[in-house]
Structure 1
Amino acid sequence: MSETQETFLSHLIELRSRLVRCLIAVAIAAIPTLYFSAELYDILAQPVIHALPSGSKMIATGVITPFLIPMKIGMMAALLVVLPYVLYEVWAFVAPGLYAHEKRLMLPLVVSSTILFFAGMAFCYFFVFGAVFDFILKFSPKSISVAPDIEAYFNFVLGMFLAFGIAFEIPVVVVVLVATGIVTTDQLREFRGYVIVGIFVVAAVVTPPDVVSQLALAIPMCLLYEIGIIFAQLVEKRRKEEAPGGAP
């Protein structure tokens, strides 16, 4: 077996080991989250319940939906609990291929990635959901009774959480691009106009077809892009001050 094949197989074995450790961590975290899955769904449903007319409730149209959806909520909560560990495993897997100055960024990037992802979810839950639901319900005809299905609501919430969580990772992406030398901060400023257009296109695609949710995603993404450039400047300045090169 050639050296290239051995290296490839060793990477596959390492990847499998890290995936198994991540799955074990999720399974352990799922024990308490599944136990309180019904309560977690009640918390998740508060924004839409608050926006619905007094006395209105959500409905379940499927036979096993009242059981299945809370279980999905429990698993999602378990994944969020171990998210820092999962991100650490991802960075640890790619770390051997990085230079010394890039490896020093691993811990700050793991911490900041976790914080920003949770910040995106919190922003969506506490600020966006209420505004979106109020906006949508204002246009509903008075002749109908609004009763959202719990499965449809779960899919909507999951999609919005992922959209805002990933969107809030923009500063990390910008810093990584500069730290690895793919782009410079000057180029990021030159691309600003194209990036803003792309952000609004992405916001229009991943959010519901209402102006409130689209602006609620696009505006923070633009601000986070600028914040990412500021932090990338510090990384770029530090790279220039250090000696060139560095062993992986």
Structure 2
Amino acid sequence: MSISEKDEIDKSAAPLMEHLIELRRRLMWSIGGFFIAFLFCFFFAKQLFNLLVIPFKWATQWAGLDPHKVELIYTAPQEFFFTQVKLAMFGGMVIAFPLIATQIYKFIAPGLYKNERNAFLPFLIASPILFLMGASLVYFFFTPMVMWFFLAMQQAGTDDQVQISLLPKVSEYLSLIMTLIFSFGLVFQLPVVTSLMTRVGMLSSEALVEKRKWAIVIAFVVAAILTPPDPISQIGLAVPTILLYEVSIWSARLIERSKERERLAREKREAAEAAAEKAADASST
């Protein structure tokens, strides 16, 4: 190996090591933030679980039952402990997400142009806001609706009928809540994903309009996969997905108009620069 080739390898290795060191730093901040948020949520796990049970109490009121007699059970000694761990991980990820997203942005931002950073930043802010909107919809509306649907299946004990009561397990109730929150939170990212794809030229509003029928079918299929097997939650997820798809079309059109204005402004500026150069050349001759 010649000396010049060795120097080139050394020069290429230096930026790689800098990127790896920077990646390690961002990972340490992200993992540390998540660990602190996890410990905080685990310390208040019972209070957080009681907070998640409130929609269940609303459902009992809708069903004409006493909300003070809401009861959940666990059938294994370790079940509630692992439920609290799962809840702490879920809460820790939600709390630490702004920090994690910021670290991701700081890692990739140096490799972006200024206009790319300015274009990417609004989506970074919109993503957690839309996720919280989806989670709020689950908490305040769809969870009570789903639990009311299940409570309506209870059967009062009579001489001819046995008593059938709903006694959810703590782990299964938490899984239901987390599934709904993640499902709605991810679906609410649709405008962000389509807007980014439109921004980079991978998608257009015309293509979104052409695929609208397929999008409606896919929305119901995805809702059937992600939600529990009841019509309320499935329709409740499919309808917002379709509405968000329409929002995505509107957002894509706004981005296309903005890109067209930028293109016209750039062409006008280039034409003015070319005319100025031509005038300067003419005056020099």
Alignment of 1:109 with 2:129, yes or no, is: no
Alignment of 1:128 with 2:148, yes or no, is: no
Q: Show the counterpart of 2:190.
A: 170
Alignment of 1:209 with 2:209, yes or no, is: no
Q: Which amino acid aligns with 1:150?
A: V
Q: Which amino acid aligns with 1:109?
A: F
Q: Which amino acid aligns with 1:164?
A: F
Partner of residue 210 from structure 2, selected from 190, 199, 205: 190
Between the two proteins, the alignment pairs up a number of residues equal to: 245
CA distance in structure 2 between the aligned counterparts of 1:196 and 1:98, rounded to whole angstroms? 35
Q: CA distance change for structure 1 residues 107 and 148 in 2, over 3 Å: closer, same or farther?
A: same
1:32-78 per-residue CA deviation (whole Å, 9 max, x = no partner) reads: 32222111100011222443443240001121223332233233222
Query: Per-residue deviation at 1:218?
Result: 0.6
CA distance in structure 1 between the aligned counterparts of 2:169 and 2:212, rounded to whole angstroms? 40
CA contact (8 A) 1:203 1:215 kept: yes
Q: 1:61 is paired with a residue of what secondary structure?
A: coil
Alignment of 1:17 with 2:37, yes or no, is: no
The RMSD of aligned alpha carbons is: 2.4
Select the structure of larger CA radius of gyration. 2
Alignment of 1:77 with 2:97, yes or no, is: no
Query: Per-residue deviation at 1:213?
Result: 0.3
Partner of residue 224 from structure 1, selected from 240, 244, 250: 244
Q: Which amino acid aligns with 2:82?
A: L
Name segments (4+ residues, structure 1) moved above 6 Å: 2-9
Aligned-residue sequence identity (percent) comes to: 33
Q: Show the counterpart of 1:63.
A: 77
CA contact (8 A) 1:40 1:70 kept: no
Q: Show the counterpart of 2:37.
A: 29
Q: Which amino acid aligns with 1:213?
A: S
The two structures have a TM-score, normalised by structure 2, of 0.77
Identify unmatched segments of 5+ residues in structure 1: none
Query: Per-residue deviation at 1:9?
Result: 6.4
**Comparing 184-193 with 79-88, which one deviates more in the overlay?**
79-88
Partner of residue 87 from structure 1, selected from 95, 101, 108: 101
Partner of residue 38 from structure 1, selected from 7, 31, 46: 46
Q: CA distance change for structure 1 residues 195 and 24 in 2, over 3 Å: closer, same or farther?
A: same
